[in-house]
């Protein structure tokens, strides 16, 4: 069900399988649901009209995220690839080769133009969210003192998208430059 947050009354009911993950577009006009059958469904949240069904291999413990503008939808697949789709039509844009599924984390920049992905095995990458093309590959390796020693659990851009941070189970937060990939600092 979709509920009105102010009144607590149901607005619409979205039928389907059990949901693994949910994401709302900006303005809450669309809702994406990753379902237990591995599919992704896009609905109009106002009238519960199904807009499209995407039959893919969604990673149940993975991520499902709209860009800030709602024009892009990204999600983790079972093989460590982030799938990038049009957030309105569901049309396929690109496969982002990001890393291993067990230690992969990604996020959109605040302006929605980039996706940052980070994994211990494959390092830090910035992607163009319009085309899905790799923009910058930061050369960080597990042996490097710059890299986290455990799985990345959080990734976020600063308000101006010039810095972004990664958090890990190793108890550190690393600050990175969005321009050249240099490690700006480590917080413990």
19 SS3 class:
strand
24-51 burial: b if 16+ Cβ within 10 Å, else e: ebeeeebbbbbbeebbbbbbebeeeeee
pLDDT mean over 15-20:
65
Residue-range domain boundaries for the chain:
2-187
pLDDT at 103: 66
pLDDT mean over 24-29:
83
The chain-wide mean pLDDT, for the chain, equals: 82
pLDDT at 141 over 70: no
Q: Among 44-53, 72-81, 128-137, 140-149, where is mean pLDDT lowest?
A: 140-149
Neighbours of 61 (CB within 10 A): 10
- CATH number listed for the domain at residues 2-187: 2.130.10.10
- pTM score, whole prediction: 0.80
Residue identified by tokens 């093989």 is 79
How confident is residue 182, by pLDDT bands cut at 50, 70 and 90? confident
Per-residue pLDDT tens for 35-94? 877 788 898 877 778 899 888 777 666 789 999 999 999 998 767 789 999 999 999 999
102 SS3 class:
helix
pLDDT at 67: 95
pLDDT at 92: 94
């Amino acid at each position: 069900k979709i509920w009105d947050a102010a009144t607590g009354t149901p607005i619409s009911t979205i039928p389907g399988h059990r949901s693994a993950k949910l994401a709302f577009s900006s303005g809450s006009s669309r809702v994406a649901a990753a379902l237990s059958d591995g599919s992704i469904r896009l609905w109009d949240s106002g009238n519960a009209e199904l807009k499209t069904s995407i039959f893919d291999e969604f990673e149940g413990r993975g991520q499902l995220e709209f860009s800030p503008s709602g024009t892009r939808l990204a999600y983790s697949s079972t093989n460590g690839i982030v799938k990038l789709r049009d957030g309105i039509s569901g049309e396929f844009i690109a496969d982002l080769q990001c890393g291993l599924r067990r230690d992969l984390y990604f996020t959109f920049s605040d302006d929605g133009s980039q996706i940052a992905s980070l994994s211990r095995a494959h390092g830090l990458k910035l992607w163009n969210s319009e085309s899905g093309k790799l923009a910058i590959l930061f050369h960080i390796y597990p042996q490097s003192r710059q890299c986290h020693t455990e799985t990345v659990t959080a990734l976020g851009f600063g308000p101006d998208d010039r810095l972004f941070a990664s958090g890990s189970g190793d108890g550190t937060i690393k600050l990175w430059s969005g321009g050249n990939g240099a490690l700006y600092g480590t917080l413990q």
